Structure 1
Amino acid sequence: MQEPNQERRNLLKGAVATSLASLAGSLSLGEASDAKADPDLIKRENQKEGSSDWQLTRIQLDKRDGFRSPKIEGYCSRQSVAAGEPIDIMVSTRPAQEFKIEIFRTGYYDGRGARLMKTLGPFQGKPQPVPQPGHKNLHECHWDAAVTLTIPDDWPSGVYLGRLSTLKDKTGYGYWQSYVVFIVKDDRPADILFQCSDNTWQAYNRWPNNYSVYTDPKGTQGPWADVSFDRPYAKYAQIYENPQSVGSGEWLCFEFPFAYWLEKHGYDVTYCSNSDMLTPEHGLKCKSFLSVGHDEYWDIRHYESVVKMRDAGVNLLFFSGNSVCWVTPMTASSDGRPNRIMFRGGPYGGKYKYAEARERDNGPFPHRGPDEGYLMGSRNVDPVNGGGDWVCELPEHWIFENTGMKKGDAIPGLIGWEYHGDPPEDIPGLEVVAKGTALQGGVNPQQWTATIYPGPKNNFVFNASTIFWCQDLSSPPGHMLPWSHWSRPHGPDERVQQITHNIMRRATS
C-alpha cells in the first residue's frame, strides 16, 4: 500500500480544529433554522392510505433490446424541488395522443409502497424531438412542458414518481406507461438525511439508445462524454432486466427498499439529491447522512460538504458500494438551470495505486480527487465488481448486538455487485467489522472490507461495502431482486435488519 498524502493524514489526525474553524459563518450541527424539526412527520405520513395501483403495468420499448419507451416518456426540469416551488414536467407521446400524470410519493404506507398525491390532466400529447448529439455527445432535450406543478406545502420530503399513462391508442392495444421521477426536499432538521444517488442514475442512463458516460466511441472509462438531466430515464441498463424501472432512474432498483424499511419503522428521514449536497447546510442540521445503493459520482463540492459534516459531528453511513469513485463536475444547462450537466472528470483516490492506474489507463483527466478511503473508511479497488457473502469479522462489536452472529457467519449474496476494500491503515480507531472475498463469476478474486471508525465529535463513519445492502432490508412493491456475476442477494434477512437498526438507533440518538 502506498503512503497516503499529508493532506489526508492531517485531515484525520491533526486538523479537526482547523476544519471546524473553516465552518465559521456557516451553520453548526443542530443550529436553529427557519425550518422546524418535526420528528413524527414520516410516521404521520405513513398512516395515510396508500395506493394499490401505482406501478407500471403496460410498457413498450422501441425494440426488444431497447431502452426507451417512445409511446410515452418524459423528464422533469429539476432533480429536486421544495414545497412552494415549481417543477416542469416534459412529456412526449408518439403518436400524438392524450395522457394523464399521476403523482405518487413512495414510502411504506402499510406495505403498499406509495400514496397517490395528485392526478394531472388529461393533456394532449405530441411527439417531441430526439436531440442531435452536441459537444461531447451531449443529448439535451428542449421539450415543451406539459404542465408546471407547484409543490403543495403539505407534501413531505420524499421520492416522487409521476406515472405517465396514455388514454387511448390507435393501434388498439390500449394504454402505455412510463415514469418521471423527482425528489421533494426540505431544510428541516431531521435524524436522517437520505441522499439519493441520482448522479449515478444519470451517468448510466442510455436514453435514447446508447448515450451514457460509458458509451463514447473512445472508451468506457474516460472523460469524453457529457450527460444531461434534461432527457428521460431509459430502462435500467446494467446488471439485470428491470422493465419496471423505465423513467424512474435506479430508485426502485437499489434505494427504495431502504426508504421503505426506514418509513415502516418510523425513522425521522428527509430526502435530497446528489446535487443538493454541493453545500453542507442541510446536512449540518441532521444527525446522520445516508449514502445508499450505487453512489459513484460526486462533485468535489459534494465531497467537501460531507467532510465538513463529519467534522462537525454528523454520522456518515455508507450503505453503498463503488461510492465516491469519480469526480463529477456539475454545470448548468444551456438555458442556465444549475447542475443539469455532468461528466466523469477524474478519479478520487489521491496517490492511491488504483486511482493512479485509472489516470494512466483512461486519462488524462482534467480533475483528481483526494483519497476517498479517508472519508469512507474503505476504498474503491480493482476489480470493483463481483459477488460474495457478507462475512462477520468482529462479532463482539455493537453493530452485531442481538443478531446471534459469530465470527465467520455469512449473509449469503449480500456483497455485490460492487464494493469497497483496502482500508487506510492509519485512521485512528478504525475497525474492520466484516470482510471476505468477492468473485467475478468464480474468477478474479478481490478482498472487500466493511469498516467503522470514530469521528471527532462522538460520531462515527460506517461503510457496509456493498451496493446490495438494501436488498436484504425489505422487498417492497415495485422492486425486483437484482443479480450479478453469478451472485445475488437473497432478500429480507433478520440479521441485516438488526444490524441496520443497531446502526440507525445509535446514529439518531
Structure 2
Amino acid sequence: MDRRDFIKTTTAVAALTGTRTLKSSPSAKRQPELIKAENAKPGASFQLTRMMPDNAKSYRTSLIEGYCSRQSIKAGEKLDIFVSTKPVAKFTIDIFRMGYYDGAGSRLMTTLGPFTGKEQPVPEMGEQRLRECQWEASTTLTIPADWPSGVYLGRLSTVPEAADKPYWQSYIIFIVKDDRPADILFQCSDNTWQAYNRWPVNESLYTDPRAAHAPGVSGSFDRPYGKYVQIFDNPQSMGSGEFLLWEFPLCYWLEKEGYDVTYCSNVDNLEPANLSRAKTMISIGHDEYWDVRQFHNVKQAIADGLSVLWLSANDVYMVTPFTPNAKGDANRRLTRETCFGEFREEEKAAYSKVLGPFENPGPDERDIIGARTIVPFNGGGDWTCAKPDHWLFEGTGMKMGDSIPGLVGWEFHGDPDTAREGLEVIAEGNVWAGGTRLGKYAATIFEGPKKNIVFNATTIFWSQGLSDPPGHMIPWSHYSRPHGPDARVQRITANAIKRAIG
C-alpha cells in the first residue's frame, strides 16, 4: 500500500469508527478519590544513582539496558521485560509508580529478582533503517489488580559480584492503563519518545542520510530507550524515553492537586472508547508523531464533547502509522509517511534539505489544536498575555502585555486558524531560533459544540511552569530558558481544567 492509499484507507476507517459513541467498560466504575488515596501512601526515590554510557558519544549503556513488550497494559495482563547485561551480571528491577507521594515523586510497587543477566544481540539494521530487537524475555510480570493507572519506571540495577565492584543502572518504562471513567486522560507522548530514540548507535527517525525528515523511515518499540538526544545532555534519563524531561512535572502536579486522572499511551487512542470515558484529554510535552487514526478519533471526540488541553507543542506534525513487529505483535513499529497539513511555500523553501518531500499530506492539525507548527520550528521566548479579560486568566493578575519569562520553547505553534468561528488568541509574541531568527507563536482557545474547550498552550515548556519534581532538570534552548514553577502557569492550567471537566 503506497502513502496515498494508506491515507485514504485510514481516513475512511476513522470516519466509520469515529461515528460510534463508545463508553468505558460497563464493569468500570468511577473512582474519583483513587489518585488522592494512592498518593497518601509512602513514597520512595526512583532516581538512578550510577549510570555509564558506553562512551562519551554513545546513546546507550550496554552495562544494563532493557525494554518492555507493550507500551501500555492493564491490570491482570502479562508484561514481558527484556534485559541485556554486558558483561554478564545478576540484576534486580525496582518498579515505581510515578506521582506526587508527599514530594518523593514515586512509590515503590515491587522489586523483582535477582535474575541472571545475559548479553543479548544488537539487531542488524533492516529496511527503512529499522533496528528491532528479538531478545529473550528476562521475566514476565502480571500487573497486580491493585496497581492504579499511571506511568511506571523500572529501575534496572546490576548486583556487584563483590563489595569492591560497582553497580550500574538504567530504566525501563511502561504505562498501566484502565477503562474507568475519569475527569482527565493524561496521554503520554511516547510515539515521539520513540521517534527520537537513537538506540543502539544512531538510529532514530532523524538520522537517515537523505534528510532529517525523510519519509519511509521506521522505528521500533522493541528496543531500549537510549539517552535523551536533543537540547541538553541528560544521562540520568537513560531508558525513560522523554517522560522525566517533559511530562513528569505535569504528572507530579496533577497528583499533588488530587485530580481524578488516568493515563494512556498514544497507541491507546486508536480506540474511540479510550477517549469517550474522559471529560478532557491532556497532551503534554512533545507530541509530534501520530497515526492518522488518532487524529480522526480525537476530532470526533471533540465533536462529541471531549475537551482537549494541548499543554505541548510541535503536536500532530508527522503522520506515522502503527504496524506490527516481525513477530506480528500489533502497533510496535512507527513509520514516518507524510506530514499533517500542507507545508506553506516558504516552509518548503526554508527546509527543502530536511523536509520530505511528502506526498499526499494528512488533515490540517489546526482542526483539533487551533494552531500548527510553523517555520522556524525552534526558538525561545516569553509567553505574553494578549487577552487579560479572558476567564483563562482569572486569578493570575496578568495584564495586557504581561509575560511569563522563557516559557515558550523549544518548539511552539503559530498560524492560528482564524477562520474558525470563536477561536481566540490568548497569548502571542516572538521567539528567536538560534537566538536571532524571528518567529511568531500563538496560544489559542476555542469552544467545541457542547461547550467543551480546546486550549493550545503552544509550548513544549508548559509543564516547566507547573512543578520541579525530584530528578528533573530545567531545560535551556536557543539561548532561552523557562524559570521553573510559576503561580500564573499553575492557575491558568487549573482554570482550563476546571472549565474542561465542568
TM-score, structure 1 normalization: 0.93
1:183 to 2:178 alignment: no
**Equivalent residue of 2:182, what SS?**
coil
1:246 to 2:241 alignment: no
Pair 357,199 (structure 1): closer, same or farther in 2 beyond 3 Å: farther
Aligned match of 1:467 in 460, 471, 496? Answer: 460
Task: Please tell me the residue identity of whatever aligns with 2:119.
Answer: P
Report deviation, 1:23. Answer: 5.0
Task: Please tell me the residue identity of whatever aligns with 1:41.
Answer: L
Report deviation, 1:174. Answer: 1.0
Aligned equivalents of 2:150, 2:256: Cα separation in 1: 14
Q: Which residue number corresponds to residue 431 of structure 1? A: 424
Query: Over residues 352-400 of structure 1, what are the superposed CA-to-partner deviations in whole Å (9 max), with x where a residue is unaligned?
Result: 5577669966334355211111210011101111000000000000010
Q: Which residue number corresponds to residue 166 of structure 1? A: 158
- Count of aligned positions: 488
Task: Please tell me the residue identity of whatever aligns with 2:269.
Answer: M
1:27 to 2:22 alignment: yes
Contact 2:15 2:296 in 1 (8 A): no
Q: Which residue number corresponds to residue 142 of structure 1? A: 134
Aligned equivalents of 1:256, 1:464: Cα separation in 2: 17
Aligned equivalents of 1:99, 1:90: Cα separation in 2: 12
Q: Which residue number corresponds to residue 371 of structure 2? A: 378
Aligned match of 1:42 in 12, 23, 35? Answer: 35
1:219 to 2:214 alignment: no
Pair 304,355 (structure 1): closer, same or farther in 2 beyond 3 Å: farther
Report deviation, 1:350. Answer: 3.8
Aligned equivalents of 2:400, 2:210: Cα separation in 1: 46
Aligned equivalents of 1:386, 1:426: Cα separation in 2: 26
Q: Which residue number corresponds to residue 361 of structure 2? A: 368
1:58 to 2:50 alignment: yes
**Equivalent residue of 1:451, what SS?**
strand
Contact 2:347 2:375 in 1 (8 A): no
Q: Which residue number corresponds to residue 59 of structure 2? A: 67
Name which of structure 1's ranges 71-80 and 167-176 shifts more when overlaid on structure 2. 167-176
Q: Which residue number corresponds to residue 286 of structure 1? A: 278
Q: Which residue number corresponds to residue 451 of structure 1? A: 444
Report deviation, 1:137. Answer: 1.2
Aligned equivalents of 1:366, 1:332: Cα separation in 2: 23
Pair 440,23 (structure 1): closer, same or farther in 2 beyond 3 Å: closer
Task: Please tell me the residue identity of whatever aligns with 1:310.
Answer: I
Aligned equivalents of 2:337, 2:246: Cα separation in 1: 24
Aligned equivalents of 1:479, 1:508: Cα separation in 2: 29
Report deviation, 1:34. Answer: 2.5
Aligned match of 2:100 in 108, 118, 126? Answer: 108
Aligned equivalents of 2:490, 2:252: Cα separation in 1: 12
Q: Which residue number corresponds to residue 338 of structure 1? A: 330
Query: Over residues 145-191 of structure 1, what are the superposed CA-to-partner deviations in whole Å (9 max), with x where a residue is unaligned?
Result: 11000100000000000000000157954100000000000011100
Aligned equivalents of 2:163, 2:130: Cα separation in 1: 33
Aligned equivalents of 1:311, 1:290: Cα separation in 2: 16
**Equivalent residue of 1:133, what SS?**
coil
Aligned equivalents of 1:383, 1:304: Cα separation in 2: 27
RMSD of aligned Cα (Å): 1.8
Aligned equivalents of 2:64, 2:53: Cα separation in 1: 10
Report deviation, 1:54. Answer: 1.5
Pair 95,349 (structure 1): closer, same or farther in 2 beyond 3 Å: same
Query: Over residues 94-143 of structure 1, what are the superposed CA-to-partner deviations in whole Å (9 max), with x where a residue is unaligned?
Result: 00010000100000000000000010000000111111101111100011
Aligned equivalents of 1:225, 1:43: Cα separation in 2: 43
Aligned equivalents of 2:364, 2:373: Cα separation in 1: 10
Contact 2:199 2:225 in 1 (8 A): yes
**Equivalent residue of 1:67, what SS?**
coil
Contact 2:91 2:116 in 1 (8 A): yes
**Equivalent residue of 1:145, what SS?**
coil
Aligned equivalents of 2:495, 2:345: Cα separation in 1: 34
Report deviation, 1:40. Answer: 0.7
Contact 2:188 2:264 in 1 (8 A): yes
Query: Over residues 417-468 of structure 1, what are the superposed CA-to-partner deviations in whole Å (9 max), with x where a residue is unaligned?
Result: 0000011121110000000000013211010000000101111100000000
Task: Please tell me the residue identity of whatever aligns with 1:262.
Answer: L
1:409 to 2:428 alignment: no
Report deviation, 1:21. Answer: 9.7
Task: Please tell me the residue identity of whatever aligns with 2:285.
Answer: G
Aligned equivalents of 2:330, 2:150: Cα separation in 1: 21
Gaps of 5+ in 2: 1-13
Task: Please tell me the residue identity of whatever aligns with 2:283.
Answer: S
Pair 59,432 (structure 1): closer, same or farther in 2 beyond 3 Å: same
Pair 498,101 (structure 1): closer, same or farther in 2 beyond 3 Å: same
1:125 to 2:117 alignment: yes
Pair 22,186 (structure 1): closer, same or farther in 2 beyond 3 Å: closer
Equivalent residues in 2 for 1:306-321 (5 A)? 306-321=298-313
Aligned equivalents of 1:329, 1:20: Cα separation in 2: 16
Contact 2:96 2:154 in 1 (8 A): yes
Contact 2:380 2:478 in 1 (8 A): yes
Task: Please tell me the residue identity of whatever aligns with 2:129.
Answer: N
Equivalent residues in 2 for 1:223-302 (5 A)? 223-302=215-294
**Equivalent residue of 2:278, what SS?**
coil
**Equivalent residue of 1:257, what SS?**
helix
Contact 1:345 1:367 in 2 (8 A): no
Report deviation, 1:333. Answer: 0.5
Task: Please tell me the residue identity of whatever aligns with 1:139.
Answer: R
Pair 358,77 (structure 1): closer, same or farther in 2 beyond 3 Å: farther
Task: Please tell me the residue identity of whatever aligns with 1:401.
Answer: E
**Equivalent residue of 1:132, what SS?**
coil
**Equivalent residue of 2:138, what SS?**
strand
Aligned equivalents of 1:263, 1:161: Cα separation in 2: 17
Aligned equivalents of 1:358, 1:339: Cα separation in 2: 34
**Equivalent residue of 2:56, what SS?**
coil
1:389 to 2:374 alignment: no
**Equivalent residue of 1:191, what SS?**
strand
Contact 2:19 2:300 in 1 (8 A): no
Gaps of 5+ in 1: 1-18
Q: Which residue number corresponds to residue 320 of structure 2? A: 328
